[in-house]
């Protein structure tokens, strides 16, 4: 295999992520990095349905909520080990996504977005009102970390949890890349470009769309499970519409339909609001303004801008 510049870039990025905890002197930034890696997983899923298939889904945070609550409740009620509940959480989320996706994907464009938005609202309301199960707005606390106290790794240590989430984020990013390169991924891209044509050549587009939707939900479910065990606390507030919009923004800002884009975008949506705390009550106005400007002037996201710059430097067309 020929070594390309992008491979070198990926290797450098990975090395950077591995070394990051050693370079960070303030643990607060390590905490934000863990959250950002969780969002990398959620955003990679969002990218499958939004970036590659061309369907904007506004339910990613809702699916994170299903993943977070399912891992927590399975642990509480069935005394299952944390490892197992983390693995089962995406499967539970997939069941909900199947049930929601089958009717939702009968509609296209804005209508699909509205249906998924409504589904996020339904998830939020159920999490809020099913207090016997979810404890409502008060939330569930004391969610255990993976592993045992006398185990090899202390997952209560943020650095250990960072590497744990990093490994999973890398695997899930790699899996997303494999999906995109596969025949399925190429079909998803074809659907984004011309769904009518895909149907005309005899491909059942709905099956591929449903696959992308369920896969995106599984990514979100996994992200939600990792979030729950990291924070040790969940309540419905964390899985509302605003967070689903963050997942969409992560994809748009990073670079929709690229593998690296959601990684960059996830770090932006986690770190940028924190860095803007100096602006006090103007923080969210500034955040919103920056996002509007970025969307207008960088429609292909940060990856797109960097690609164009690289093309100018090397004199080659941006891929």
The answer to the question of residue 287 lying near another protein (CB under 8 A) is: no
Which of residues 1, 26, 79, 296 is near another protein by CB under 8 A? 26
Instruction: Give residues with Cβ within 8 angstroms of 57, minimum separation 6.
Output: 46, 49, 50, 112, 113, 116, 213, 216
Alpha helix ranges (H) inside the chain: 5-23, 27-46, 60-78, 82-104, 109-129, 131-134, 158-181, 183-200, 205-231, 241-254, 261-275, 283-297, 301-314
Buried-state track 29-46, b at ≥16 Cβ within 10 A, e below 16 = bbbbbbbbbbbbbbbbbb
Residue among 53 and 134 whose Cβ is closer to another protein: 134
Q: How far apart are CA 146 and CA 160, in angstroms?
A: 11
Does residue 139 belong to the site contacting another protein (CB under 8 A)? yes
Q: Which of 19, 108, 274, 299 binds another protein (CB under 8 A)?
A: 274
Give the residue with the Cβ less far from another protein, 31 or 209.
Answer: 31
Q: What is the 3-state secondary structure (H, E, C) of 39-74?
A: HHHHHHHHHHHHHHCCCCCCCHHHHHHHHHHHHHHH
| Shortest separation between residue 87's beta carbon and another protein, angstroms | 23
**Least distance to another protein, CB of residue 198, Å:** 39
Tokens, residue 27:
């643990």
Tell me: does residue 27 bind another protein (CB under 8 A): yes
- Pick the binder of another protein from 135, 147, 203, 308 (CB under 8 A): 135
Cβ 66 vs Cβ 96: under 8 Å = yes
And the tokens for 40? 């990398």
Identify the residue whose tokens are 């209508």. 111
Burial class (CB within 10 angstroms; exposed 0-12, middle 13-18, buried 19+) of 136: middle
> Does 121 sit near another protein (CB under 8 A)?
no
Sole window of 8-16, 136-144, 174-182, 304-312 interacting with another protein (rule: CB under 8 A): 136-144
Binders of another protein among 145-164, rule CB under 8 A?
Answer: 156
- CB under 8 A: which stretch of 88-96, 197-205, 225-233, 298-306 binds another protein? 225-233
* 76 to 70, 87, 120, 159: CA distances (angstroms): 10, 16, 24, 26
Of 18, 99, 137, 293, the residue at the interface with another protein (CB under 8 A) is: 137
Q: Does 275 bind another protein (CB under 8 A)?
A: no
User: Which listed residue (7, 106, 108, 129) binds another protein by CB under 8 A?
Assistant: 129
Of the ranges 23-31, 160-168, 193-201, 307-315, which one interacts with another protein (CB under 8 A)? 23-31
Smallest distance, another protein to C-beta of residue 39, A? 11
For the CB of residue 234, give the shortest distance to another protein in the complex, in Å: 8
Please report whether residue 35 would count as binding another protein according to CB under 8 A: yes
Least CB distance from residue 283 to another protein, whole Å? 7
Residues of this chain that bind another protein (CB under 8 A): 26-29, 31-32, 35, 128-129, 131, 135-139, 141-143, 156, 231-235, 237-238, 274, 277, 280-281, 283-284
């Amino acid at each position: 295999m020929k070594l390309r510049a992008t491979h070198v870039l990926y290797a450098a990025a990975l090395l950077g992520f591995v070394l990051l905890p050693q370079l960070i002197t303030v643990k607060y930034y390590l905490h934000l990095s863990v959250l950002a890696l969780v969002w990398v997983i959620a955003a990679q899923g969002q990218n499958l349905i939004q970036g590659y298939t061309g369907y904007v889904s506004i339910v990613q945070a809702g699916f994170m909520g299903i993943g977070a609550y399912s891992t927590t409740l399975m642990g509480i009620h069935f005394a299952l080990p944390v490892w197992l509940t983390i693995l089962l959480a995406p499967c539970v989320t997939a069941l909900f996504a199947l049930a929601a996706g089958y009717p939702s994907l009968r509609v296209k464009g804005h209508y699909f977005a509205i249906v998924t938005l409504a589904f996020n609202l339904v998830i939020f309301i159920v999490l809020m009102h099913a207090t016997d199960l979810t404890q409502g707005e008060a939330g569930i606390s004391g969610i255990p970390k993976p592993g045992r106290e006398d185990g090899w790794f202390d997952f209560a240590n943020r650095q250990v949890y960072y590497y744990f989430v990093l490994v999973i984020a890398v695997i899930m990013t790699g899996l997303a890349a494999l999906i995109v390169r596969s025949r399925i991924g190429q079909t998803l891209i074809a659907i984004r470009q011309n769904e009518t044509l895909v149907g005309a050549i005899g491909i059942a587009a709905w099956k591929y769309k449903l696959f992308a939707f369920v896969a995106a939900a599984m990514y979100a479910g996994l992200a939600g499970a990792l979030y729950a065990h990291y924070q040790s606390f969940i309540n419905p507030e964390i899985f509302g519409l605003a967070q689903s919009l963050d997942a969409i923004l992560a994809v748009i800002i990073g670079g929709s339909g690229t593998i690296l884009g959601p990684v960059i975008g996830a770090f932006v949506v986690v770190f940028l609001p924190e860095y803007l705390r100096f602006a006090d009550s103007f923080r969210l106005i500034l955040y919103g303004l920056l996002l509007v400007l970025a969307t207008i002037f960088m429609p292909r996201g940060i990856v797109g801008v960097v690609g164009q710059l690289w093309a100018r430097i090397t004199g080659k067309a941006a891929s």
